[in-house]
Chains A and B, each alone.
Chain A
Amino acid sequence: MEKALPIQCVEAVFIAVYLTQNASGFPGQSVFPDCMTRLTLRFKSCLAGNPRQTHRHIVLAIRLPEGQWGAVGISRRGNLQDKAFVHASLSELVLEYALSYREVGHVLRKVYVGLPLPQGAANHAALQWRAAALRLPLHLLPPAEKALGACARPAWQQASAALHKFEEALPALESAWKSRGRISAVHRKAHRCAVQLPAPTAAAAETTAPGDSSSSDDECVDTTSSAAESGLHVQKATRGEGHGQLQLTLGGV
């Protein structure tokens, strides 16, 4: 902190972790309680007119002890950096970012959620930056040139359900990660789900670039076994069908 050097999003996350660490010798000592949850939110977005051109971003999401979610970070776009601590859930926060991406002409495709960062300075265990991966369909939200209307939140409900499920499982996942250093297959299977969304409308399909379906990160998983746990309409996903699907998978170690 001796010089003002320009930073990007990942460095901003590191600085935010440093400034909010509740440990001896740190600026946030005895200011931030241990029950304040801090986890990383990584975004992968693409241009609305060119799904092949992808961009990545990361912020530090924080849940206050009272339950409000917000985020700190830095971006060249003002609406993609920090978010006020007024969101009731993690899914509300991610929806806020999805709408912000829409405003700048991007489509949010993937969200990676990390496990909560531990408090205390003497912890040498590796951090889990990718505890869950939420893949969003290309046409989940209407394009920026069209009015958002009242359809955004209903369309988001399934993503919200998946993220809410992950949020509920956070303590168990964190405990498993601390004790074993990995997320067990049982947890991975229990929280993996995929939801088949309605096919995009003709108008929305026009904005899709040809050959888009061969995106390299369209890895899909067999999710049939998780139908009972997720409570959602689950179908077996196959490679190349990713644009209509919403998936939440627990990332491997």
Chain B
Amino acid sequence: MAAEATPLNIWAPAPCDTVEDLQAAMIALQAVDSSLLLAAPAAPTLPEYNENATLAACLQQVQHCIQQMQYNHTGEKWFTLRKDRGISGVLSMVRRGQFAQRQREHMHPPLCRGGTSWRKRFPYSV
């Protein structure tokens, strides 16, 4: 009786020692990407302030926009913000949306390396 394949836990991946492990990890990653549960949330809409609205109402719209972003429960620090920059630096940082780039940089290396801090080299040819 053949042993059942252990499902890959992408949240705590095992080290990828062989090509098969790496392929299995890639397949699991593709499955996650195509999952409906992880569909990208809608981008938040910037508040459109009404000229006749009160300041408190406008600030309520600001709060709504912030809440659309949702709280980051992952414990991972995606963004690198420098608080020592002046107001112009802070504003340009938000405007340019550097956050997305930082997220991509952080996402892939741990998954590809299986969460290990070392690398094992082996010959491979196709």
One of B10-18, B30-38, B73-81, B116-124 at the interface: B73-81
CB distance from B45 to the nearest CB of A (A): 8
Check if A10 sits within 8 Å of B58, measured CB to CB: no
Asked, given contacts A4-B41, A7-B70, A64-B56, whether A124 binds B62 with beta carbons under 8 Å apart, the answer is: no
The docked-state distance in angstroms from the alpha carbon of A1 to that of B94 is 8
Check if A76 sits within 8 Å of B73, measured CB to CB: yes
One of B1-9, B21-29, B96-104 at the interface: B96-104
Check if A74 sits within 8 Å of B81, measured CB to CB: no
Check if B94 sits within 8 Å of A15, measured CB to CB: yes
B→A interface (CB under 8 Å): 40-44, 46-47, 49, 51, 55-56, 58-59, 62-63, 65-74, 78-79, 81, 83-91, 93-95, 97, 99-100, 103
The docked-state distance in angstroms from the alpha carbon of A16 to that of B61 is 10
CB distance from B47 to the nearest CB of A (A): 6
A→B interface (CB under 8 Å): 1-8, 10-12, 14-21, 23, 26-28, 31-33, 36, 62, 64-65, 68, 70, 72-76, 81-82, 84-85, 117-118, 120-127, 129
Contacts of B70 in A (CB 8 A): 4, 6-7
Contacts of B42 in A (CB 8 A): 4
Which of A31, A32, A121 gathers the greatest number of chain B CB atoms within 10 Å? A31
Contacts of A70 in B (CB 8 A): 56, 59
Nearest neighbor of B46 in chain A, beta-carbon distance:
A27
CB distance from B61 to the nearest CB of A (A): 8
Check if B100 sits within 8 Å of A5, measured CB to CB: yes
Classify the secondary structure of A's interface with B.
loop
Nearest neighbor of B93 in chain A, beta-carbon distance:
A14
- 4 smallest A-B Cβ distances: which pairs? A6-B72, A124-B86, A4-B41, A18-B94
Taking A2-B43, A7-B66 as known contacts, 13 extra A-B pairs with beta carbons closer than 8 A to each other, sorted by chain A number, are A1-B46, A3-B43, A5-B72, A8-B72, A14-B90, A17-B87, A18-B90, A70-B56, A76-B71, A85-B55, A85-B59, A118-B87, A124-B89
Nearest neighbor of A124 in chain B, beta-carbon distance:
B86
Check if A126 sits within 8 Å of B86, measured CB to CB: yes
CB distance from A57 to the nearest CB of B (A): 12
Check if B66 sits within 8 Å of A18, measured CB to CB: no
Nearest neighbor of B77 in chain A, beta-carbon distance:
A8
Say which residue of A23, A26, A27, A62 sits within 8 Å of B59 (CB atoms): A62
Contacts of B78 in A (CB 8 A): 5-6
The docked-state distance in angstroms from the alpha carbon of A12 to that of B63 is 9
Check if A117 sits within 8 Å of B87, measured CB to CB: yes
Contacts of A12 in B (CB 8 A): 66, 69
Contacts of A31 in B (CB 8 A): 49, 51, 58
Contacts of B46 in A (CB 8 A): 1, 19, 27
CB distance from A182 to the nearest CB of B (A): 14
Contacts of B55 in A (CB 8 A): 32-33, 36, 64-65, 85
Nearest neighbor of A130 in chain B, beta-carbon distance:
B83
